[in-house]
Structure 1
Amino acid sequence: MLRSSPALQNTLKSTPPENVAMKKATLIGISVSTMFYMSCGLVGYAAFGNHAPGNFLTGFGFYEPFWLVDIANVCIIVHLVGAYQVFCQPIFGFVESWSSKRWPQSGFIAREYPIAMPFGGTFNSNLFRFVWRTAYVIFTTIIAMLLPFFNDFLGLLGASAFWPLTVYFPVEMYISQAKIRKFSSTWIWLQLLSLSCLIISLVAAAGSIQGLIKAVQTYEPFQSIS
């Protein structure tokens, strides 16, 4: 058995490098997301024009089949909970790190309380972390409830972040890494791609702002209008 072990190891397929695996995963993820978003956007606009509802499942006034709506709501919850953690953890880490450096002797901030978890070992809890994160979640939830025009607000945020984060910086980093010469054919095509996406972002932002202005005219706190 020991003699055959090296031979078996030589026949095992080695795992691909991290950059290759991430490139493949990113390509698949972006392709699937683009397919779904473009399908909803193009088909919805072709069928309903400007009257296309923000929520395709319930925006038409009926909730059948109910199981499909329930599955979609569960998927939205899973998606938003994960996205909320991704965006909030850097804020949590920054505030907690700054507070611990600013008040290192404070027991409220620095002291850890070990809590025994059944079948899970010991979990360290911090009173400041508990209070600060709870207050942050409550505050952001109230702000979200005060803004009933969710679709237009989300569209404005997406349009503002799309071009610089998704197009401009990746394109410029690729040009710098690959040492692409200015005014070469590849450089020109990349700049045209970046310019086209910038125009799309500006148009999307203008449409979202117009929707926000229209929604504010009939604004009622804690009421869903989109």
Structure 2
Amino acid sequence: MNVAARPAPPSGFTNLPRHVAIIMDGNGRWAKARRLPRIAGHKQGVEAVRRVTRAAREFGIEALTLYAFSSENWRRPESEVRDLMGLLRHFLASELDELISEGVRLRVIGDYRKMAPDLVRMIDDAVARTAGHTGPALVIALNYGAQAEIVAAAQALASDVAAGKLTVDAIDEARFADALSTRDLPPLDLMIRTSGEQRLSNFLLWQAAYAELLFVDTLWPDFDAGTLAAALEQYGMRERRFGGL
């Protein structure tokens, strides 16, 4: 296994976040502005994923979580969903060797097993082949919804209580967080949403409790290492008190 050493932070950067999450928004508007079909925007969005995941590794970010397909995205036209699934297949096939060579640990959160069987097999294979890596984590949220994640965690804890494995009094914030799909990741430090929209859209609601939120006007297909660097600089200038003085 070739596990790359964690790079030094870029010059001038201080107080880098350990865990960054991105709501990748604006593919459709990018395509519309150029009078192109929506799939063209999604293809450019995949290129942005490549750029940003590489930049995140170079900047020394320990975990990068990308909102790739929400549980609400099934409401989109069937042809668009099919195109998105095809792009996901292509990304996994084309990027897996690089993720392995860079020592990246791929994680998928969300109910992705409701996707097509061949895609589920590709995801399982990619996750298994990178599971032993100790480098940065790349987390892809697929068929993910934060409210469903919280409900599932509550149900799991309730089952443990009913089975006598856990007492009600033993359930606290740490125990609840340990029941979530992000339990082995660093706490979320920074959440970025592109395209100017200012909402969380059912993404990492529990995890974002004390995360810094940053809404940028850049459409996702135009997001690159420079945009990420600017976001990290803004994060570094914020004072995080977590409710204290």
TM-score, scaled to structure 2: 0.26
Whose strand proportion is higher, 1 or 2? Answer: 2
Comparing both chains, which one has the higher relative contact order based on Cα–Cα distances under 8 Å and sequence gaps of 6 or more?
A: 2
Higher alpha-carbon Rg: 1
